[in-house]
Chain A
Amino acid sequence: MVSIVSQVDTSHDDMIHDAQMDYYGTRLATCSSDNTVKIFELANGQQKLLTTLIGHTGPVWQLGWAHPKYANLLASCSYDKRVFIWKEVSANHWERVYEHLNHDSSVNSVCWAPQEFGLMLVCGSSDGSISVLSSQGDGIWDAKKISNAHSIGCNAVSWAPAIPVLAAGGGQDGSSRQLVKRFVSGGCDNLVKIWKFDESEEKWTEEQRLEAHSDWVRDVAWAPSIGLPKSYIASCSQDRRVIIWTNTMDGPNSSNWSYKILHTFDDVVWHVSWSVMANILAVSGGDNKVSLWKENFDTNWICISDMTGNKNN
């Protein structure tokens, strides 16, 4: 079902914490406990190390590629409390174009907004706050901070898709198509929270808090939209469960979230990721295993693939 495209030996000096391909699927960025970020070019099964980004003074936890329309931007966040934005200023020459220093503890998660929202980055930190950086593309970054978003700490952030979802019964007029900026976050208070940008007050407000996990929420992922009036959020937690939250939008702003436990795993679950069509969820955790889940026609989630220890079976 899944075929291997390439195997990359990153030669990091320590454990890898995140690996991501860019928008086109041609470049791979990895980050590690050795405080570096590496960028590889993958073509025809060949790998080529393009560059190693040095600058973080702590393990680098997560990366994020921006949409290519904003040039080649890569965000990285680290235990050293900083968020860096790297830019490829000329071919294969990367520069650190921005440093975000406004967190008091490890920054655990970064996520770029869908390109329709403009150039925006959300960062979640162990100091409990979330900051949203935005730029007009002129190199000036404006930061909005939500302090105390999650008590103890925020572990993960993920943007809602920007596709304006047509409310059922909504007309063709433009009003129902207003894009609302939203993201979801998960934290050590066992909560999943949805944040919404209040355009009138120009600030982020908590729109929804979803309670079901019994331990730290380790990752959240908002599923890409496929144009249906329904949205999904996957969250995973230290309590070894993955929960799928579903919102059937009855009105333009209604939020009616219900949840379903996908599965209780053998070890804590660290990461969830949606496929681009939102039909498959990849789950990975402390047991070094990856499993793929798909919703069948009875809206039950079934495991369709299980990969152990990096080896596809």
Chain B
Amino acid sequence: MIMASRWSTSQLIAEYKDLQAVCLAISGDGWCALSSRRSISLINCDTPEVIDHWIKRETKWDAKATEFNPLDNNLLAVTNAQTVQIYNIDANTRKVPMKPAVDSSVGRNGLNGTQLQTLRGHTRTITDLNWSYSDAHALATASYDNNMHIWDVRDGRRPQLSMSSVAGATQVKWSRASEHTLATSHEGDVRVWDRRKNNIPVHYITAHLSKINGLDWNPNIGSQFATCSQDGTVRFWDLTTFKGKPDIILTTGLPVWRARFTPFGNGLITALVPQLRRTGENNSLWMWSMDCFDQPLHSFVGHLDVVLDFGWHNRNGNDYDLITWSKDNSLRVWKVDSQILTLQNEDNCEFSADDINDNQSSTDSANDTELSAAAAARLRRPNTLDISPTYNKSPSDQFKRAAAGYHVLSSAADTAKKPQTPETPVNSLTQEFAQLNVNIPNVQIEELNATKRVCIITATTSVSCRLKMLFPADYPNHSAPHFSFLTSATAPSDDVKRDLLKVLHTTAYLQVKRNRMCLEACLRQFITTLERLTGSSPALLYATRLEPISGLIPSRHYGGYLDASVPFPRTSGARFCSGELLVCFGRPPHLEQMNAPTEYTPRSLSALDSFLSALHRQSAAQTNQITSPLVPSISSFYFDSSRHKRTKSRSKRSQTDPKSVANKHSSSNCGPVFVFSAAGLLPISRVLAENYAVKANGGDIVAMCETNAKVANTFGRRDLCQTWNLLKLSAEIYLKSLNSANIMDTPWALHPFGKKMVQSLIDHSVLKCNDIQTAAMIACTFHTTDTKSKLPPKQSQPGIANNSPGSSPYHTVCSTIQAPNTPETYGDWSLISAVESLKRTRSNSWSDFAENEALISGLVNSANNNHNDNFAQQLELEAHENNTKMLEPKLQFQYDCYKQIYADILYRWQLMEKRALILKSCLTVNQSQLFHVGIDFVTECQNPYCEKRYNTCRGPYCGHCKTPTLKCAICRMPVRGAVNHCVVCGHGGHTVHMYNWFAESDQCPTGCGCFCLQNNHNIFA
């Protein structure tokens, strides 16, 4: 969960910049051998900063692998291209002659530190070697030449045994349990061999799809081994239960370079390779418990580059040294107590198990449930106290942190494998008491006795209160401690006591339910509740109100292992907002990037880890004490050049406590936010938008063009001024030609300066200049004339009785499944009556509605025949109409798009009136966007032009010609607002009118004879 609380930096660091070693070997008695091209350096684990001895090694090749014999600490094997060199290093003196004797006939008890043997046999580079765990003389080697050899080092002239495969091997490892078994890896495959049957592998496993980087046998389970690969996973295989699939897969997200079991407990150490091996990324080693792979247990932070190799040295009993060698040329030694695994297992795994149960490892929900239950009462009151005002971490974090450190007090000798056994209850309580943070404000611990299993505290606020806690034997496994109050000088009232007990029980129960220890949580909860109930200093109230819940929800600090996939935070940015604004933020100028200027900003958040550890190390070194790590923040990645100058002297710096530094630091951690106007860069202009004239239908387009030309000129847009003037001239002639209205003339629109010019002007502004404003405005200008131009022919249309009350436009309810072309207009009276009669027979069910539709359309078709001759004329007129238009009707949709986009920008500028005017000229828009589900009320436009095309309208206006379609049956005025209709006869009108009418009558106001109230009631009953 909280990774930052469980990391450690190394105790000993030694840098060997000039060594250029790539391989590390660690002997059983604590010697490290670093092999480079020039030498093998021997270093004692206790004093890593000194190279004790070195063996000269003149070779052109880097050693691929080097290893001490686990059974004989004097034997060291190092690969050298196709050969293996065996060195003997004297156990007593560790003296190695500067130049190794090349006398291979000398036995191992001969000269101190000599090269004993050179094993020749492979024909290509040897990639790995491994000493047998059972036979001191057996060494296995793997090579790209497709062979694996087993050598007896007493006779190194030729391999004792050979195995061959079709692919080159990159890893070879003897089983620790079975003396005859060894495993080799070949790209993504693993072969397991028995040396007694060396012609064919015992097992052949297609383990990974990518290259296997490392292989290791489990020291505890003899048949199990782990493979780690470039594909970012570690897979575990058990030969006894082998089914072709890995038992467990651990996914890390980054290529895994090495994965090895820990020599103690049931753990695993992984070393990862950041992609592209960028420095500053997460190069930390992780320790995992084999029992839960949700989170690594521990992170070893410090290496600045890829960890090339690591090994263990058992100091004594439980103390282990982890020795690591990294590409950053530093050798680090980390003290690890084998109990670390035990303790953390207890803590971590319980926690993780909860996570899984709760919601797919969603720690949030786990925490939130905890939160909601434990502190629901408190959180509902916004101004109550926080349980841990001075701590940002939840109590369980405190435990974890303590457990992560090295102050492990348990004395159990071998609890490594079974961390949660009930045999160790004393230990867990002892541990809990030992790790208890006693600095809880206003709480004094009087007694803390693990053997008596009792804890007595005194809490002092305005009253003082003594609390005794008795821990049952099976605590904390589902068993909460018993709480009781002891007599004190100023005891709180009984009510307060009752409330306190309730809170304590809830808190304790929530923790022990998960087998978690609850002492500290209870104490903190206790004191805050007490403070709340009895009143407390206002200063404290104020201080805690700011972060009401951060104490309960474990704060998400950086450092989780998931950080490898979290992108490194942006600390600067620019964003276009609203119409023309550009919002920029950035780091303040005095904060510089920590890493060298030649390096790029890291990719992921995990890079912060290494910087933090560096910071921590630095402060620890300067103050000579272990300071708590700073709360990790992105700002620590950046280097404050101004602060550095101020506090250059070391003495000053050592005095500053990291927290105050952090505070001082933070005051200038954020730079200002700048808001720029990028208006000058945009093709559109707000001032133009404000001043442009947009006229509604019937406006004088010549005057409009003229005004707009003036506006453009005033604001320095002479190009637009010209455009508008040109349009004005064209519009003048156009209007004239319209007024002459001689149908035989060639319409002005067909002239090159007519429609074509308008179109090219629009295209130019959009395609070349991204100037939606001009395009929309031009389209808008000529739209007004175009709609007007088609009004006159309407008058000439004969034979439509649109004043008859029967031809009410309010129509009927139609289902949305209806095809858009289905005719719904019944043209004239006779048809209407036919339909009316049909309607009367309509049943209550909507299911036969489609049938009715079919009937209606049949009727309409026959009616249409009567108009056939009219229709041909109509088509011709329509074609002519299109020719007279200044805007190509086919492009109308596109123009409407422009208008819509421009309208949206006007909205951003809050020029609502202009926007409305622009939108008014849109013909086709909005209808397609009305996603209405279910039954729709549609009306028909009475305009004969629209009627012919069977236009249905879904609003008060016809979408095409913009004439009102709804007329009230009573007042005969167009209806825009609330409207009510009879679904049977289709008549209706203003809601108020209808309401008043039907208050007195139950028949339709048009006199159609429909008993609207009764009929509607029947239909909807």
| B213-253 at interface with A (beta carbon < 8 Å) | 253
Closest to B666 in A: A13
User: Are A216 and B567 in contact (CB-based, < 8 A)?
Assistant: yes
Interface segment out of the listed B329-337, B398-406, B808-816, B891-899: B891-899
The answer to the question of B682 belonging to the interface, with a C-beta cut-off of 8 Å to chain A, is yes
The answer to the question of B963 belonging to the interface, with a C-beta cut-off of 8 Å to chain A, is no
- Closest beta carbon of chain A to B745's beta carbon, Å: 27
| B351-369 at interface with A (beta carbon < 8 Å) | 360-365, 368
- Closest beta carbon of chain A to B172's beta carbon, Å: 32
Residues in B with CB closer than 8 Å to A78 are 556
User: Are B575 and A273 in contact (CB-based, < 8 A)?
Assistant: yes
In the bound complex, how far is the Cα of B359 from the Cα of A102, in angstroms? 9
Interface segment out of the listed A3-11, A86-94, A201-209, A245-253: A3-11
Asked whether A101 and B555 contact (CB < 8 A) given A7-B672, A153-B565, A227-B901, the answer is no
User: Are A126 and B565 in contact (CB-based, < 8 A)?
Assistant: yes
The answer to the question of A98 belonging to the interface, with a C-beta cut-off of 8 Å to chain B, is no
Which residue of B567, B634, B772, B892 has the most chain A CB atoms within 10 A of its CB atom?
Answer: B567
The answer to the question of B50 belonging to the interface, with a C-beta cut-off of 8 Å to chain A, is no
In the bound complex, how far is the Cα of B678 from the Cα of A23, in angstroms? 16
Residues in A with CB closer than 8 Å to B1013 are none
Residues in B with CB closer than 8 Å to A213 are none
Asked whether A172 and B673 contact (CB < 8 A) given A13-B666, A278-B770, A282-B574, the answer is no
Closest to B362 in A: A104
Residues in B with CB closer than 8 Å to A20 are 575, 577, 583
Say which residue of A2, A30, A80, A283 sits within 8 Å of B676 (CB atoms): A2
Say which residue of B555, B578, B682 sits within 8 Å of A25 (CB atoms): B578
In the bound complex, how far is the Cα of B900 from the Cα of A202, in angstroms? 28
The answer to the question of B581 belonging to the interface, with a C-beta cut-off of 8 Å to chain A, is yes
Residues in B with CB closer than 8 Å to A82 are 364
Asked whether A5 and B581 contact (CB < 8 A) given A18-B573, A32-B670, A279-B770, the answer is yes
In the bound complex, how far is the Cα of B589 from the Cα of A179, in angstroms? 46
User: Are A216 and B669 in contact (CB-based, < 8 A)?
Assistant: no
Residues in B with CB closer than 8 Å to A24 are 578, 908-910
In the bound complex, how far is the Cα of B567 from the Cα of A237, in angstroms? 11
- Closest beta carbon of chain B to A63's beta carbon, Å: 10
In the bound complex, how far is the Cα of B930 from the Cα of A218, in angstroms? 36
Closest to A172 in B: B893
User: Are A271 and B894 in contact (CB-based, < 8 A)?
Assistant: no
| A226-269 at interface with B (beta carbon < 8 Å) | 226-228, 238, 240, 267-268
- Closest beta carbon of chain B to A248's beta carbon, Å: 13
Say which residue of B567, B579, B669, B905 sits within 8 Å of A108 (CB atoms): B567
The answer to the question of A159 belonging to the interface, with a C-beta cut-off of 8 Å to chain B, is no
User: Are B681 and A292 in contact (CB-based, < 8 A)?
Assistant: yes
In the bound complex, how far is the Cα of B898 from the Cα of A146, in angstroms? 34
Closest to A25 in B: B578
Asked whether A101 and B368 contact (CB < 8 A) given A106-B562, A177-B893, the answer is yes
Which residue of B605, B674, B900 has the most chain A CB atoms within 10 A of its CB atom?
Answer: B674
| A266-288 at interface with B (beta carbon < 8 Å) | 267-268, 270-271, 273-280, 282-288
Say which residue of B569, B576, B672 sits within 8 Å of A273 (CB atoms): B576
Residues in A with CB closer than 8 Å to B587 are 15, 288, 309
The answer to the question of B924 belonging to the interface, with a C-beta cut-off of 8 Å to chain A, is yes
- Closest beta carbon of chain B to A145's beta carbon, Å: 11
Residues in B with CB closer than 8 Å to A12 are 669-670
The answer to the question of B830 belonging to the interface, with a C-beta cut-off of 8 Å to chain A, is no
User: Are B670 and A101 in contact (CB-based, < 8 A)?
Assistant: no
Say which residue of B360, B568, B893 sits within 8 Å of A166 (CB atoms): B893
Residues in A with CB closer than 8 Å to B672 are 7-10, 310
- Closest beta carbon of chain B to A112's beta carbon, Å: 13
- Closest beta carbon of chain A to B339's beta carbon, Å: 31
Residues in A with CB closer than 8 Å to B605 are 106
In the bound complex, how far is the Cα of B764 from the Cα of A297, in angstroms? 12
Residues in B with CB closer than 8 Å to A155 are 567
In the bound complex, how far is the Cα of B363 from the Cα of A32, in angstroms? 23
The answer to the question of A139 belonging to the interface, with a C-beta cut-off of 8 Å to chain B, is no
Residues in A with CB closer than 8 Å to B570 are 17-18, 61, 218, 270-271, 284
Residues in A with CB closer than 8 Å to B676 are 2-5, 312
Residues in A with CB closer than 8 Å to B546 are 54
In the bound complex, how far is the Cα of B569 from the Cα of A306, in angstroms? 22
In the bound complex, how far is the Cα of B556 from the Cα of A126, in angstroms? 15
User: Are A228 and B767 in contact (CB-based, < 8 A)?
Assistant: yes
The answer to the question of A105 belonging to the interface, with a C-beta cut-off of 8 Å to chain B, is yes
User: Are B582 and A282 in contact (CB-based, < 8 A)?
Assistant: yes
User: Are A57 and B677 in contact (CB-based, < 8 A)?
Assistant: no
The answer to the question of B675 belonging to the interface, with a C-beta cut-off of 8 Å to chain A, is yes
Residues in A with CB closer than 8 Å to B472 are none
Residues in A with CB closer than 8 Å to B346 are none
The answer to the question of A85 belonging to the interface, with a C-beta cut-off of 8 Å to chain B, is no
Q: A30-B585, A79-B558, A292-B582 are in contact. List 9 more A-B contacts (CB 8 A).
A: A15-B669, A20-B583, A54-B548, A57-B555, A101-B364, A177-B928, A273-B576, A285-B572, A312-B676
**29 A–B contacts from the bound complex (CB under 8 Å):** A1-B680, A3-B679, A3-B680, A5-B676, A8-B673, A8-B675, A15-B569, A21-B577, A21-B578, A30-B585, A61-B570, A81-B556, A106-B562, A126-B566, A126-B567, A155-B567, A163-B900, A165-B897, A172-B893, A215-B276, A216-B567, A225-B897, A227-B766, A238-B603, A268-B603, A271-B575, A273-B574, A276-B578, A284-B572
Interface residues of A (CB under 8 A from B): 1-25, 28, 30, 32-35, 42, 54-55, 57-59, 61, 78-82, 101-102, 104-106, 108, 116, 126-128, 152-153, 155, 163-166, 171-172, 174, 177-179, 188, 215-216, 218, 224-228, 238, 240, 267-268, 270-271, 273-280, 282-290, 292, 294, 297, 304-305, 307, 309-312
Nearest 4 CB-CB pairs, A to B?
A: A25-B578, A286-B601, A21-B577, A58-B556
